[in-house]
Structure 1
Amino acid sequence: MYNSFGKRFFDLFATFIGGILLLPFIFIIIIWIKLSSRGPLFYIQKRVGKDFKEFNLYKFRSMVIDAEKIGPGVTSGDDPRITKVGKFIRRTKIDELPQLINVLKGDMSLVGPRPEIMKFVKKKKEEYKKILSVKPGITDNAAIEFRDEEIIMKQYQDKEKAYIDIVLPKKIKLYYDYIDNISFVNDVKLILKTLKVI
C-alpha cells in the first residue's frame, strides 16, 4: 500500500539519489553560510509530526542567532533577522534541503502537509487531527501555492494573527485535498511541480 510501506520506500530511494546529485551544491552552500555570518550551520526547531509527536526539523540557518527570541514566530520578507545569504536561500527554498535528514530519519516524507510549530497546531487542533494522521512533508500543494508567503505576510501588521486567521485555514484546505488523494503519481507530480516553480 503506497501510503505506508510504498511511500516510505519511495522517500528513501528518492532522497538517496537526490542527496548524491545535490552533494556538490550543498557543500558550496555550507561554505557560503559559514563564511557569511556567525553561528551554527543548521537552524533546528521543534515541529509537530504524525500523531502530534514533536520532532527536530532541520533547515540551513538563514537568520541571526536566537532569532526566535527577538521576533515573531512568523517571518516576512522584510524581517531584519534574515541574513544576506539567508535572503537567497529562503527565496530559492534551499534552506529546506536539510529536511532530507528528517526524511531519512522517518520524521517526514518528501511530500505531505508542511509541519507547523505546536503554538499554531493548538489553535487548529481539531483540523490537525486529520492532517497529522500522515507524516508531514517537505513539499505539497500548500508549499507551492504559498512559496511567496513571506511577501504575503509583509502587508499585515500583526503577522501571527494574520497567519492563524487568514493563511493557515487556506493551507489546511490544501492539506486535506492532498490527504484525500495520496498516490505515488500525485507525489511525483508534486515533486516535479516544486522543482519547476523553484
Structure 2
Amino acid sequence: MDENRSAALLFKDGNPSVGNLIRRSIDLTLAGTALVIFIPLMILVAAAICCESGTPSIFSQPRLGLRGRVFCMYKFRKFRRDCGTNGSPLTMDNDERLTLIGKFLQKTKLDELPQLWNIIIGNMSIVGPRPETLHFKDCFNGDYEEVLDYKPGIFGPSQVLFRNESSLFPSHVDPTEFYRSTIFPAKAKIDLAYYPRRTIVSDLCWILRGIVAVFGYVPPLYLNAPTESEGATDRKIESCSATPP
C-alpha cells in the first residue's frame, strides 16, 4: 500500500482516528441540538402533511450507507399516498407525484429534517456523500466504489453544488439514464476529490455553505446540455470545485 493510500485511509469513516471521533462528537452535538430546536417545526410539517393527504407523514426508504450497508433513511413524505414504490427514483421539477406541501418541502429541503435521527443513531453524518437509493447501487463500480468508504451525510460538496439537481435534466432524455451517465459520475468525482483530504474545519465550512444553499445561494455549476442527437453521455461538467475552503 503506497503512502498516499495509507494516508487516505485515516480519513475514512469507521477507522478509529482522532478526527473521526471528533467528527462523531460534532455530529451528536449538532444533530441533538438541531432536533430540539426544530421539533416544533417538524410537528407543524407533520400536521400539514396529515391534513392535506393523510398519514403517514414520515416514511423510510432503503439507502446505501457506509461500506455499502443498507439502512432506512427517514424523510417527510412529499408524494401522494397512492404513488407506491414503483415510480421513478428521482424527483423532477413539477413532478406530478408531489403534493402541495411536498412542493414546498422539496424547495426548502425541510423534508430532510427527520434525517437528524439517522445521524443520532449513527447511520449518517452531518457531512458526507449523499446516500443513494438501491436503484443506483450498480453505479458504484470501479473507482466510484470508494464513495461508500465514507458515511453518508446531509451536507457536503455534491449536495451544495447540486442543490437544484432536479432542474438539470434535459427534457429530451430519460432522467434515470441521464443520472447514471452524467450526474452520478459528476457527484462521485466531486466527493472523491474532497473526502480523502477533508478536515474538521472544512467540514464545518461545508455545513455553512449548505445552510446558505438552502436559502438560495448555490455556487455556479456549469453543464453542457446535449442536443437530441448527442445523447446524455455527452453532457459534462465544465467547472466545479470541491476543494476544502
Q: Distance in 1 between matches of 2:50 and 2:191?
A: 35
* Other-structure match for 1:90: 106
Q: Distance in 2 between matches of 1:144 and 1:131?
A: 17
Q: Distance in 1 between matches of 2:35 and 2:94?
A: 31
Kindly state the Cα deviation for residue 150 of structure 1 after the two structures are TM-superposed.
Answer: 1.3
Matched, 1:183 2:199: yes
Q: Which residue type is aligned with residue 201 of structure 2?
A: V
Q: Distance in 2 between matches of 1:185 and 1:41?
A: 35
User: Deviation string for 1:146-194 (max 9, x for gaps)?
Assistant: 1111122263531100000011111001111221222111111111111
Bigger helix share:
1
* Other-structure match for 1:26: 42
Where structure 2 has 5 or more consecutive residues not aligned to the other structure, the ranges are 1-16, 215-245
SS of the residue corresponding to residue 69 of structure 1 reads coil
Kindly state the Cα deviation for residue 92 of structure 1 after the two structures are TM-superposed.
Answer: 0.6
Higher-Rg structure is 2
Q: Distance in 1 between matches of 2:108 and 2:41?
A: 13
CA contact (8 A) 2:66 2:148 kept: yes
Distance 1:162 1:70, change over 3 A: same
- Please identify, of 176-185 and 141-150, the stretch whose mean Cα deviation from structure 2 is larger: 176-185
CA contact (8 A) 2:89 2:135 kept: no
TM-score where L is the length of structure 2: 0.76
Identity, % of aligned pairs? 31
The within-5 A match list for 1:1-198 is: 1-65=17-81, 67-153=83-169, 155-198=171-214
Tell me how large the CA RMSD over aligned residues is: 1.6
Q: Which structure carries more relative contact order (alpha carbon 8 Å, separation 6+)?
A: 1
Q: Distance in 1 between matches of 2:38 and 2:23?
A: 22
CA contact (8 A) 1:78 1:154 kept: no
